[in-house]
Every structure is written in structure tokens, then in C-alpha cells.
Structure 1
Amino acid sequence: MATKRVKRNRGEKGVQNEPDIMAKDRISQLPDSLIYYIFSFLPTIHLVRMSRVSRRWRRMWVSTPFLYSDCHFDDVTFTKNVNRSSMFLKFVGNCLRCRKKYMQPDTFIISFKLHSYYKLGRHDAQLVDKWVRFAIESKVKELDLRVQDYCIPQFVFTASSLTQLRFHALEFEVASLSNSSSLTQLKLRPLKLEVPFLSKFPPLKVLSLSYVESNYESFQNLISGCLIIEDLHLQDLNEIHPMHEYLLDIAVGMFDFWASPP
């Protein structure tokens, strides 16, 4: 059992220090599943920092099934000349390299979140493609991307492990969103949506479109392939006119029909 010695001194003259108190390291006693559950709420940068708290955590953060990289380094002090965008990309790259180096063969990813508000260059976009592919190859179930001016690669939509997709970015184009055999949740905001072919999302139960720019054909192709929707959220859809109101009525009617008991 990991322990540490704590000395207590009241600072009174003539009074010697009290005997050492054995303080238990309760963190190291937690089961792996509970530690990973705690990790699921924290950005990866905090996991790296907290690895100093416990020796056990030092090996666990590289195998956590929850990866959350957020470009907000508000509590991190940099020198004035540091490019925060470059530092963020470097940090994510280093974390994934450590994971590849030390993870066990059967390690998988439950959730991969990447939130960046920096404009990407061509090389940066290639890096993001590489990271997303790594998540897909690690059998990721939940993919949450908020990356400005980034186009989702086609291999994302054919990933059999994915059950939840969340895309949130400005000027974000999703083309060829047409097929997914395992997706149960799809949440898009704000982005440009293009669905050139009839979609097929047999198990999709949650669909949320907020501040999405689309057209009549794309919207119809998407809705038509969602047959068992239980939760439908539509907010401020753009450029679907003149059929906008009609489509909303149809969508709500379909939702009421699917959600009503037989």
C-alpha cells in the first residue's frame, strides 16, 4: 500500500513535533474502471499533469479510453512568443505518440474529442486526418470533432465501430454523408451539409441539426434514411427555402409517427 509521511508542527516553543502520521494514498487504491471514469470528464492535458499525483496514474493516462484535446490552454503560462496553435498541435501529437509507444495491444478508444478554434493549414489538416484515422483504427465509438475549416475524411463514415458522431465547426462541409450501419447518434452544428445520395442509417435514434446550411435535396436524403428516430432536434436550418417549413412539418410528423406506440 502506498503511503507517505506527514509531519505536523504547531510552531509552539517547547513543544516537539508530533509523531509522524501515516497518510494513505487513496487514489492508488481506486479500481482502474473508476479512474478511467474520472478521466472521461477531463481534458488530456490535465491527465498528463495529474500523472504526477500517483505513480499508478503515470502508466494509466497513456491507456485511457477517453481522449479529449481542447485548445483552450487558459491556465497554462507560455512565453510571449509562443504560437498557441502550434503548441496545441504539438501537444496532441506528442500525446498520441506516447499512447502508441506504451499502450497494450488490446487497448481501444471509447471517446475521441478534438476541439480546436485555430485555422488549419494544409499540413495541419493532414495531421488531424492522421489522428482521426488512429482513433478509427482503435475502434473508437464516439467521435467529437470541432475543428474550423476541416473536411471530414470519407473513411470516418464507413467506420463500423462508430455509434456517435458530433461535428461542430464553422464553414464545415460534410459531403457523401450517406451510409453508416452502426451509428445511433448524429449531431451536427453549425456546418454546411451535403448529402448527395439517399442516406442509410438503420439504427439512428438521435438526430440533431443546429445552424446547419443545407438544401432541399440533402435534407430529404438525410431524413429519408432515418427510420427509427426517437429524438429529433432541428434549429435554425439555413437555405432550405422555399420548402423549409414544409419539410419541418413532414419531419415532425414522421417523428410523431415513429415515436407513437403501436
Structure 2
Amino acid sequence: MRIKVILKEAKNKAFKRDHYHQLAGMIYNMIRKSNPEFSSWLHEKGFMDGNKKFKFFCFSRLIAPRNHYEYIGENKELILFKTDQVSLYISSPVEEFLTNLIEFFLAEDYVKLGDHTLKVDSARALTTPDFGDKTVFKAITPIVLSKRVEGYNTPFYIRAYQSPDEFDEYLTKNAKEKWKIFTGQENADISLQVDRTYLEKKGKRTSCKINLSPNQTIIGSVVPVIAIGDSEIIRFLYDVGIGQKNSLGMGMVELAGYKY
């Protein structure tokens, strides 16, 4: 399930260009105000598989028409909105998560994001698309995949344009793992593949750095992905996001051709 939130009073307010960490904090605060017990469980435990924890939600950045914002600052590290209204999309396969968010929006008029306050204009559930056994997704936010490499203390980020076969492998493995944890079902019928034609056309331009915090920079890929398999699993991935770090906003997808 996916909800669209309209926020107002954004004009002439500047936020970090990569404001995903701030949005994640805002969402946790909303859940905490609505249901402290659920918020504590989600933040501290969530859905677990050994040492891995999954939150099973995803979200977009703040979205405005292209000519209604600009990047400012010495390194273009801030985004300044020139419009009063921005949109935020939040999705999850966990009904209780979205129910708590809706309850927050019904009760509160404002949200705090970074150093600014935004007015809640509306929040509504969107109709979930009908999925078949093959769907082409476009990335609304960067898709992040990493692996551990012997001799290195930090993760190695897999770039789609450099290693498309490996990217497909890790992306599919991640999808199957999330489905198993959420449903208990193994051997998920799902395969994810990067659109090779798009990669050949765009190449290195599909890769981007995301500065989550002063001490954390990650690398993602903004590429179309072809999902083949069980339509129920494809719908799950639409709700939860693909790749890693979904609860920090990474890997939100939409049907190719649909414009936000």
C-alpha cells in the first residue's frame, strides 16, 4: 500500500539535498506519536532474520515540479523549494505501519523536517496497480546494493553499469530474502534484471552518491528494473522497495511511464 502526502509552506525553505535521513526521522516521530509501542518495536527490532533487521517501509524524497526548486550552496548540497507545495510518498506492506501514519495525519496539522516546519495539507491512500508476471519498474530513489570484500572494513557498493550481472544477482537475492522474512515462504518465484538497453545508453550517469549524513556516503543506481515472477511478490516489492536501505528511502520504485 502507498500513501501520498501533500505538504505546504515549503516555499523559500532549504533542506539538505539528500534529505532521506531527515525524512526517516520524521516518519519515526510520526509513528511514535501515533503508537509509541509499535514505534519502539519497529525501531529496535522490526522483522528479524538472524542479525539482519528489516523495517519493511520505503519513501520518496520531497517532490516538486522540476522548475519549482533549485540546488544551492557551495557544493549544491541544499535544495531550495520555490513552490508552496511538495509531495511525499510512503509505502509499506505492513498495514499497521500505514494505519498509524494515517492516524497521525488525521490528528496533526504540522510536521517537523530538519530545521523547518511544513503544514499537512492531505494524505490519501493510492490505488495499487495490477501486476502481472512481468513488470518494468523505474527507480524513484536510488537502488543501493553492497557486499563485503575481504580486507576492507567498509561495504563495497555494486554499480549497475559496472557489474550488471552481479547487480541482478544481489538484487534478486535481496528480494527473495525479504519475501522469506515477511511471509515465511522460501524459494520465491522472482527475478530482477536491470534494463540493459538503458544501461548502454546512460552508462556511468546511472550511478550517484547519496550523502545520508556527514559521516555516511553511499552509492546507488538509478535504473529501470524488470521484475519477472509471481505477481504477489512483485506487488510486495512495489510496497517495500528493492535493494538495501529501504527504510532510509532507497529503492522506491514505480511503474515505468508513471510520473510523479
Superposition TM-score tier, normalisation by shorter sequence? under 0.3
> Per residue, is there more strand in 1 or in 2?
2
TM-score w.r.t. structure 2 length? 0.24
TM-score w.r.t. structure 1 length? 0.24
- Larger Rg: 1 or 2? 1
Q: Which has the higher contact order (CA 8 A, sep 6+)?
A: 2
